[in-house]
């Protein structure tokens, strides 16, 4: 299962994690007031299980959204590969946080009602994405829900400013999720209320089938 802040995350991803570890405080100051209430609401609205819900905040960073889920009365668990974020998120939210590399996940099967992957899964290389999505699907309970929000693009991937990113077309992202066995629930572009050329984020909601 998850590792605590004292353990080293397994597997690759050192370049991206190193960037976040070196910019942890600046990243927190830049993002702590970002309003992602629309995304939190989209995940929660799609989950049929009664609250309180068990939610995995995948790539929780310093813990902004982790705390929001806890304040709503749910039972969130954070996951991040950057050691400073793990410590910051535990202190800020009071929630358990597992230190794991996205490319070497060790998740308990059927543990969560929902997974919140806000601005995190685009760091997964295209070649690794089918395996990672399968692992996330297995970590959901039947009928559980995966939310993702990623910067979309023209299916290019590579390093930008010290971080690896994979910028899928929305239809490419959808195809990956369908192949991984998820059912589509909803999708939209962000920020809301702007023309499409000013909406760099593609958000989508997906369900693990109740039968498997």
Instruction: For residue 145, give every residue at least 6 positions away whose Cβ sits within 8 Å of its Cβ, in sequence order, or none.
Output: 43, 46, 47, 113, 114, 115, 185, 205, 206, 207, 208
Number of domains the chain is built from: 1
- Asked whether residue 1 is assigned to any structural domain, the reply reads no
Terminal C-alpha separation, the chain: 21
- Asked whether residue 117 is assigned to any structural domain, the reply reads yes
What's the pLDDT score for residue 14?
66
Confidence (pTM): 0.91
Joined together, the tokens standing for residue 31 give: 């993002």
Return the sign of the alpha-carbon dihedral for residues 104, 84, 140, 168: negative
- Asked whether residue 2 is assigned to any structural domain, the reply reads no
- Asked whether residue 44 is assigned to any structural domain, the reply reads yes
Task: Judge whether residue 28 has pLDDT over 90.
Answer: no
What's the pLDDT score for residue 7?
42
Joined together, the tokens standing for residue 6 give: 């004292």
- Asked whether residue 172 is assigned to any structural domain, the reply reads yes
- Asked whether residue 5 is assigned to any structural domain, the reply reads no
Query: In angstroms, rounded to a whole number, what is the distance separating the alpha carbons of residues 29 and 15?
Result: 22
Report residue 8 CA to chain centroid gap: 20
Report residue 23's pLDDT band, with 50, 70 and 90 as the boundaries.
Answer: confident
Q: Please give the residue range of the domain that contains residue 180.
A: 14-207
- Asked whether residue 78 is assigned to any structural domain, the reply reads yes
Q: What is the pLDDT of residues 64-120, one digit of tens each?
A: 999 999 999 999 999 999 999 999 999 999 999 999 999 999 999 999 999 999 999
- Mean pLDDT computed over 167-191: 98
What percentage of the chain has pLDDT greater than the value 90?
81
Task: Judge whether residue 138 has pLDDT over 70.
Answer: yes
Higher pLDDT, 110 or 28: 110
State the CATH number of the domain containing residue 105: 3.40.50.150
């Amino acid at each position: 299962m998850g590792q605590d802040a004292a353990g080293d995350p397994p597997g690759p991803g050192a370049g991206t994690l190193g960037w976040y570890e070196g910019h942890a405080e600046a990243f927190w100051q830049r993002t702590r007031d970002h309003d992602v209430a629309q995304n939190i609401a989209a995940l929660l609205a799609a989950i049929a299980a009664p609250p309180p819900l068990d939610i995995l905040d995948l790539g929780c960073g310093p813990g902004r959204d982790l705390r929001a889920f806890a304040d709503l009365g749910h039972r969130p668990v954070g996951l991040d590969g950057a050691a400073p974020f793990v410590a910051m998120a535990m202190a800020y939210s009071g929630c358990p946080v597992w230190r794991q590399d996205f490319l070497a996940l060790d998740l308990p099967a059927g543990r969560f009602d929902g997974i919140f992957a806000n601005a995190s899964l685009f760091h997964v290389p295209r070649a690794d994405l089918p395996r990672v999505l399968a692992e996330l699907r297995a970590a959901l309970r039947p009928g559980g829900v995966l939310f993702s929000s990623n910067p979309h693009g023209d299916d290019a991937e590579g390093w930008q400013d010290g971080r690896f990113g994979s910028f899928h077309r929305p239809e490419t992202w959808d195809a990956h999720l369908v192949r991984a066995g998820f059912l589509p629930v909803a999708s939209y572009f962000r920020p809301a209320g702007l023309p499409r050329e000013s909406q760099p984020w593609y958000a989508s909601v997906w369900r693990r089938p109740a039968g498997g």
